[in-house]
Structure 1
Amino acid sequence: MNIKNFKYNEVGLNRFFGTLEAKIMELLWEEEIEEMSIKEVQLKLEQDKPLNFNTVMTVMNRLVDKGMLVKRTEARHSLYRPNQSKERFIDEQSKKLTENLYEEFGGLVVNHMIDVLKDVDQDLLNQLANKIQQLKRDSE
C-alpha cells in the first residue's frame, strides 16, 4: 500500500489512516479471530461510541480498495481480514518513508536519524555498525 498523505503530527496508525480506518485496522490486527464481519467490528468499536453500520461498512470496503483488507463472502456475510501483519505494514511504510526522505534531502536525513539515537541500546548500535561495514564491503 502506498500512503499518499503521511501525517507526521499524528501518532501511531493515524499517521497513515483516517481515525476510523486506524481503529478498524488496529482491531483486526489485535483480534485473535482470523476474520471478522462488519457487524462484529461495529460491535467491538461501539464500546467507545455508537457507530453506524453503513459507516463501518464503507470504511472497511475502502480499506479493501486500498489493499489493506481482504474480503471474503460466505453465504450472506462478508468477512474481512488484514492483507498483512501490522509488523510487516509498519516495516514497509517506514522503509518507504525513509527512502522518500533520503531521495529528497540526502545525507542530511541520515545525520538527523543518527542524532536521535542518543539513548539507543548497544545491540542496535552494533546492528547499525554491521550494516555500515557490509555496505562498505559491497561498494569496494
Structure 2
Amino acid sequence: MRIRKFKINESGLNRFFGPLEAKILDVLWNDGERTIKEVQQVLEKEKPTNFNTVMTVMNRLTEKGILQKRPEGRSSLYKPVTSRTEFLNTQSKEMTNELMEEFGSVVVSHMLDALEDVDDDLVAQLEKKIKELKKDV
C-alpha cells in the first residue's frame, strides 16, 4: 500500500491521513477488528461523530486497500491490512528511497546531522548496519 500524500507539517498518522482516517485507524490498531458502529462509539467518547461519516471514511479506506472488510452476520467487520509497525516501516522506507533518488548525498548528510540529537543506541544500530553493508561489497 502506497500513500501518495505526506503532510510535512503534521505529526503521527496525520502525516498520511486525514484526521478522521487517522483516528479510525488508531481505534482499529488498538482494539482490533470492529464494526462501523463500534468504531463510531469509540470516537463518540472524544467528540460527536456521525455514523454515516464514519461509514463513508471506513469504506474509502477499504477501497484504498488500507482496511479489509469481512461480512459478519448483518454487518461487516473491518481491520487494517497491516499492523501499525508494518505500515510505518513501509512508509518510512518508501519516503527514504524517494528522498535518496531525488536528493542523493544531501539526504545522507542531513540524516547524519540529525544523529547528533539521538540516543547512542540509534547510532550503534547505524554503525552495525554500515558494517553489514561493507561486508556485502
Q: Which TM-score bucket, shorter chain as reference? A: over 0.9
Whether 1:18 and 2:18 are equivalent positions in the alignment is: yes
| Partners of 1:119 and 1:108 in 2: CA distance | 18
Tell me the CA shift for residue 35 of structure 1.
1.4
| Cα root mean square deviation, aligned | 1.0
Whether 1:7 and 2:14 are equivalent positions in the alignment is: no
Tell me the CA shift for residue 120 of structure 1.
2.2
Secondary structure, counterpart of 1:17 in structure 2: coil
Write 1 or 2 for the structure with the bigger share of helix: 2
Residue aligning to 1:63: 61
Residue aligning to 2:115: 117
Name the TM-score, length of structure 2 as normaliser: 0.95
Name the TM-score, length of structure 1 as normaliser: 0.93
Q: Give deviations 1:77-134, integer Å, cap 9, x for gaps.
A: 1111111110110000000000000100001001101111113222221221121122
| Dislocated runs of 4+, deviation >6 Å | none
1:50-129 residue pairs with structure 2 within 5 A? Answer: 50-129=48-127
Q: Return 114-123 or 55-64, whichever deviates more.
A: 114-123
Secondary structure, counterpart of 1:51 in structure 2: coil
Residue aligning to 2:133: 135
| Partners of 2:104 and 2:117 in 1: CA distance | 24
Gaps (5+ residues) in structure 2? none
| Partners of 1:89 and 1:119 in 2: CA distance | 25
| Partners of 1:69 and 1:38 in 2: CA distance | 12
Tell me the CA shift for residue 75 of structure 1.
1.6
Gaps (5+ residues) in structure 1? none
Instruction: Give aligned pairs, total.
Output: 137
